[in-house]
Structures are given as C-alpha cells and as structure tokens.
Amino acid sequence: MLLRGRRLVHLLFAGFAVELAAWYTSQSLEGLLQSEWARRTTAALTVLLPQFAVHLFQAAVPAEQGRTTSSGELRRFSAMVGAPMLVLALSPYHKHTLALTLVYFYVFGLIAAALVSLARRGQKSSSRTVRDRVRFLVAVGSLATTFTLADFLSFLGLKLPPIGAVLAIVFLFVLAESLARPRLADLYELVGRLLVATVLAFALAGIFYGFITYLGRFGAMYLNAVLAALVFLVLWEPLEHEVRTRIHQFFFRERNDLESSVSLLVRRLAHALEVPEMVDTVLSGLERSRRMTRCAVYLLDTEGNGFDLAGSVGAAPKRIESLAIRPLAEKIGKSLSLEDPERAKDPALVAAAATLGELRSSVVLSARGDDDELVGLICILDDRVRDAFTPEEILLLETVGAQLGVALANSRVYARMKDRDRLAALGSMAAGLAHEVKNPLGAIKGAAQLLEESPHDPSSREFLGIILEETDRLNRVVGSFLDYARPNTGNAAPIDVNAVVKRTVQILSSQEGGVEIALDLAATLPRAKIDAEQLRQVLINLVQNAIQAMSGRGVVTVATGLKRARAGRGPFQGPASERSGRSEPQESIEISVHDTGPGIAPKVLKNLFVPFFTTKDQGTGLGLAISQRLVQNAGGIIDVQTQLGGGTKFSILLPAADETAVPAVPEPAPVA
C-alpha cells in the first residue's frame, strides 16, 4: 500500500521496514546457525539501520521552507561514519569490546540524533497536525530504541525481556499510519488505543515475568501464572483507567482541553434564552478554549437575504449577503473547513469564502432551524498554525453550531410566549381602563345634557354640542373595545339564517334613507350554529359599512346561499373548527353583503381586520375586527372581494349545522 504512493518517503519507509525485518531475521539465523556468513550479514544490516532511520525521519517531516535545520548535517555525518563502521563491523576485530562499543554507539547515537532532529522539526512546524503526529512518532520511536538498546545489553550479559522487537513493530505501525493517512479522522484514536493496549500488555507481561522469575520457588509454573493473572485482574480496572488518562493527557492534551471547553459551552448555550446572551456564550466559550485567534457569529436576517454579524472576537465583515455566500451554504452541511487544500480547487467556493475577509480560511459551522434552514454561521480561525483543527475536533465543534440552532429556535418560542403574556396583561389592563373611562364619561354626558337645557349664548351651545358628540364617540369606542377585548361567546344554537337576515334588513331599512337594501335569499337553507344576536351584529356592521362607503347613494344587496366546498377542503380552517375537532364540512352557508361603492384600495384591504384600523373620522376601526372574531367563534370565516370602482362584497361563510333545510319566504323582494 505504501509503495503504491511511490513517493520517496514511502520508498524509504518500505526500505526501513525491510531492513528491520532482515536485521531481526539475520540475528535469529546467526544464533541458530552460528555461521560467519550470518554474522557478517547481521553486522552489515546493523550498520545500515541508522542510515535508513536518518533519511526516513528527514523525509517523513521535511523542514519547512525558510527554516534552518541540523538534519542536513546529520545526513552528511551519518554518510561519513557509515563506511568506516561497515569496515569495522566486517573486520576480524569485530568481537573486540572497543569495536562492539563503537558500533553500538554509532547505531543508537545516530538513531537518537535522528529522533531528536525529528522532534525539533516537529516542534517548529506551523501545522498543529504535524506537531501532534511527530510527538507520537518520537515517543514511540524513543521507547522502541531504548528497549532495543536493552535487548543488546542482553548480549553483553544483562538478562531483560526482549521487548524492543515488539516496540519496533508498534513504531513501524504508527509510522505507517501517519504516512498513509495524513488527514485520517481516527488516526489519533487508533494510535491512542494501540498505545493503551501496548502499555497494558507490557504491564501484564511484567507481572507474569515478576512472578515466574522471582517467585519461581513455588516451583509450579501453572500456580504462578494463576497468581499473576489474579493480581492482574484485580489491578486491571484502576490500571487501565490510569494508563488511559495518562496517555490521553500526554498525547491528546489540546483535544481534551477543547472537549471540556466545548461541552461547557454547549451546556451554557442550552440555558441561554436571549440572542445576545447566546452569541456571547459562544464567543466567550470559544475564546476560553484558547484554540482560536478570530471568531465570528452571523445570524440570518428577518428577510432571509443575508447574515448579519451578531458578535465577533477580532475584526469581521459586518454582513454577508446570501447570494455571495451561496456556494458555501450549499456545501456546508454541518461544517466546512475552508483551510482544507481540497477546497481551494473550487473557484466558486473560494470566491464565496473571500466575502468572509480575514476569516476566509476559517472553519465554518452551521446553525440550522426547525426546517433545516441555515439560520446562523460560526467562523473560527486560528491563524497561528496550519491545520488548526483535526477532523475529530471539527466534529466536536459541530455540536456548538447544532446547539446554537436549537437555542435560536427556543428563543423564538420564548419570545412568542413573552409577547403573548405581555399582550394578555396589556389586554386585561386596557379592559380595566376602559371600564374606568366609561363611568366618568356617563357623568360628563349627563352634566353636559343638563347644561344644554339652561339658556346659553350661541358659542357655548356649540361647545356643549361638541362635548356631547365627542362623549358619544368615546362611549362607542370604549364599548366596542370592551366587546373586542372580552367577546361574549354567546348562545350558539342552530338558527334559520334567512329569518335573521330578513329581520335585520327590515330594521336597517327603516333607519336608512337614500340607500336601497335588496334581499336575495336562497329558497332552502340548512341551519347554521351561531348566536342569532351576534349574527345580527355582524350583519349590521357590514351593511352600515357598505352604506357609508357609498356615501348614501346606491344599492346594497344582502344575499344568502349554499356554497359547496370540494370534498376534504372546506373553507373552515379557523381556530374554532380546529378546536372542536370536527371534520371539515362539505357545505357552507354564505351570507353576502354586496355594495356598489368605490371598492377598497390595496393598502386598506391589507389592514381591514386589524383592530382600530379605520379610514373614517368617526370610525372606531373595531367593526370588522369584532365581526371576524364572532364569525370565527362560530367556526366560520369572513371573506372579502373588491374591485376599485366596482364595489365590494363581504361574505360570511358558516358551516351548516345539519341537513334540515328551512324554506325561505316565497318572494325575495327588495325592501326599500
């Protein structure tokens, strides 16, 4: 797999691995065959070992441009001493203690120097990933070298368990992983687990070794093994915990720190209800992690046209337009690392990232709303290092974006609840106030009426007239407001709509002068469930509005009829019908008030049912709002159709209460 890459470093790695394997093999053969040939091969391979190590370590982490290193000198030095050492190892003096010591120092001295040089280059690297990687390599490499050194001491008469070979394999594995998977998410996890397992394996072996070597007097190998296993099983949990914690602390310190700051941040974010508090929590949490130099939080504006800067550490653009950032928004998913060299190949993405200014190479996290809509962006940048965040760290950071999305959705619900509570409180206060106003109004009106009866000069009389007129108007407004604020649920019962309409029109006709009110009643009509008095109130309202709109001239037609809705799609989706859980009716009773007035301008149409919206000097602006409320309470709706210059038609649509049709009065005649 490594040779497929065909890069120098891969070839060197393959060479090093083969060399190491050959070295161990020839040592075994030498021990077995005791032949001169095997001895010479081992000697040659021993001398070659550090040569490979020096070149491989140099190629694995090359020095960054512009930095001076001692690795070049080390290579030259190793080449220089390599040849005489080879000659010495193959010479007849090779068994001389001085020769052995020299070769020994040459091999381990050079490997140690290569490791130190590797460690230095790693430390100086501007990439955090390279730094972490090198820390691993050097730690495992040093262990492997030290224990191999110890293996050699055994040749000199010291008896130690041969663990150098095991560690050399672990080292090769770590090295291969780090070369083959430059951005692999689970590299650290894998290597971390391997290290924990290795340390535990050595602990286990050590316990067995101790029992078998020093307590050998029990004589029974089996018993010793059982005792050792017992001790190990008892120690297993605390030992495993301790080893894992230590290794994580040593190798994953930065990630551990990030993990604890992110989990604290996410916990705090869950309790934030106001948007500024959330933004502050995110920024201060990330700042506390000490893993960024710049950071910004952007939130979608109310129109959805772009993202406004909600807060930042360091300078950041005030706003990002949705259009400009679209390529990024399309690709982002949960997060997007703009530092990734792969991204640089996508020109649209590069252009989108450029709108982020200084944050163009940051890690961008997304916050999403209920319907997965992108509602916020968090940009995090650490410009002190390259590859500032490993893939697992980015996964960890994604939880911050996700939690921000949840917190933003919660804050909207909270704001709505607060608004509702505020409005409810305001409503009951206003209703109380209206009552307080009504009583003194009555007194003022009474006093003004009394004054009006006594003789006065004409101007005083006029002022008294104004007082009376205005108290009447105030009374009307306050009365309507109370109707609106505390609507009477009424006594809803199935009624004959035609009869109520006819009676109401009769009353209205007797009051109105110049306007003709025509009746057009349906022959048969099912009953509708609504309070008759409330329906009358709505009708009066609509007819009076129509008459006022026509400035006293024209025809108002009040008609009733049956409207059949398409199956399953009745017109009644108002709150009352939802509340009652009734299936949507197929038929509805329509009561329409059609005038020949000037029609309604779009600006007015938009606010028609808004309380207190009026275009009239003497209007309260509550007529239609109350009408709508009453009709909706009966499970119906009010519809309006209008044409400028062509009149207006208001329709009340009520669900039919039952199928009992009520015959109408025979001749629907206009009532003048």
Query: Edge-to-edge strands of the sheet including 306-313?
Result: 319-321, 306-313, 294-300, 374-381, 363-368, 335-337
Is the Cβ of residue 355 or residue 548 nearer to ligand ADP in the bound state? 548
Residue 142, judged by CB atoms within 10 A of its CB (0-12, 13-18, 19+), counts as: middle
The distance of closest approach from Cβ of residue 654 to ligand ADP in the complex, given in angstroms and rounded to an integer, is 19
Name the token pair of 390: 């490993």
- Alpha-carbon span 457 to 435, nearest angstrom: 35
- Alpha-carbon span 427 to 451, nearest angstrom: 36
- Alpha-carbon span 266 to 268, nearest angstrom: 5
Is the Cβ of residue 41 or residue 648 nearer to ligand ADP in the bound state? 648
Is the Cβ of residue 28 or residue 615 nearer to ligand ADP in the bound state? 615
Is the Cβ of residue 225 or residue 605 nearer to ligand ADP in the bound state? 605
Is the Cβ of residue 494 or residue 598 nearer to ligand ADP in the bound state? 598
The distance of closest approach from Cβ of residue 519 to ligand ADP in the complex, given in angstroms and rounded to an integer, is 18
The distance of closest approach from Cβ of residue 627 to ligand ADP in the complex, given in angstroms and rounded to an integer, is 7
Is the Cβ of residue 99 or residue 518 nearer to ligand ADP in the bound state? 518
- Alpha-carbon span 67 to 121, nearest angstrom: 9
- Alpha-carbon span 438 to 431, nearest angstrom: 11
Is the Cβ of residue 272 or residue 625 nearer to ligand ADP in the bound state? 625
- Alpha-carbon span 239 to 201, nearest angstrom: 11
Q: Contacts for 232-235 with beta carbons within 8 Å, 24 or more apart? A: 232/203, 232/204, 232/207, 232/208, 235/203, 235/207
Query: 653 has which bridge partners?
Result: 590, 637
Is the Cβ of residue 399 or residue 614 nearer to ligand ADP in the bound state? 614
The distance of closest approach from Cβ of residue 669 to ligand ADP in the complex, given in angstroms and rounded to an integer, is 23
Where do runs of H (alpha helix) occur along 61-218?
71-90, 97-124, 128-155, 164-180, 187-214
The distance of closest approach from Cβ of residue 548 to ligand ADP in the complex, given in angstroms and rounded to an integer, is 7
The distance of closest approach from Cβ of residue 646 to ligand ADP in the complex, given in angstroms and rounded to an integer, is 11
Whether 640 and 605 have beta carbons less than 8 Å apart is answered as yes
Reported as type and span, the H/E element at residue 647 is strand 647-663
The distance of closest approach from Cβ of residue 530 to ligand ADP in the complex, given in angstroms and rounded to an integer, is 19
What residue is closest to ligand ADP based on CB?
623
The distance of closest approach from Cβ of residue 555 to ligand ADP in the complex, given in angstroms and rounded to an integer, is 13
The distance of closest approach from Cβ of residue 539 to ligand ADP in the complex, given in angstroms and rounded to an integer, is 13
The distance of closest approach from Cβ of residue 528 to ligand ADP in the complex, given in angstroms and rounded to an integer, is 22
Is the Cβ of residue 391 or residue 623 nearer to ligand ADP in the bound state? 623
- Alpha-carbon span 451 to 469, nearest angstrom: 14
Other residues' Cβ atoms within 10 Å of the Cβ of residue 570: 22
Is the Cβ of residue 131 or residue 629 nearer to ligand ADP in the bound state? 629
Is the Cβ of residue 199 or residue 543 nearer to ligand ADP in the bound state? 543
Residue 611 per-residue DSSP state = T
Q: Convert 17-30 to b/e letters by CB count within 10 Å (16 or more is b).
A: bebbebbbebbebb
The distance of closest approach from Cβ of residue 655 to ligand ADP in the complex, given in angstroms and rounded to an integer, is 24
Give every CB contact of residue 237 below 8 A, 6+ residues apart in sequence: none
Whether 473 and 445 have beta carbons less than 8 Å apart is answered as no
The beta strand positions in 233-369, using DSSP E, are: 294-300, 306-313, 319-321, 335-337, 363-368
State the residues that interact with ligand ADP by CB under 6 A: 541, 545-546, 549, 595, 597, 600, 604, 608, 613-616, 619-625, 648
Other residues' Cβ atoms within 10 Å of the Cβ of residue 422: 10
Is the Cβ of residue 295 or residue 549 nearer to ligand ADP in the bound state? 549
Q: Is 31 helix (H, G, I), strand (E, B) or coil?
A: helix
The distance of closest approach from Cβ of residue 544 to ligand ADP in the complex, given in angstroms and rounded to an integer, is 7
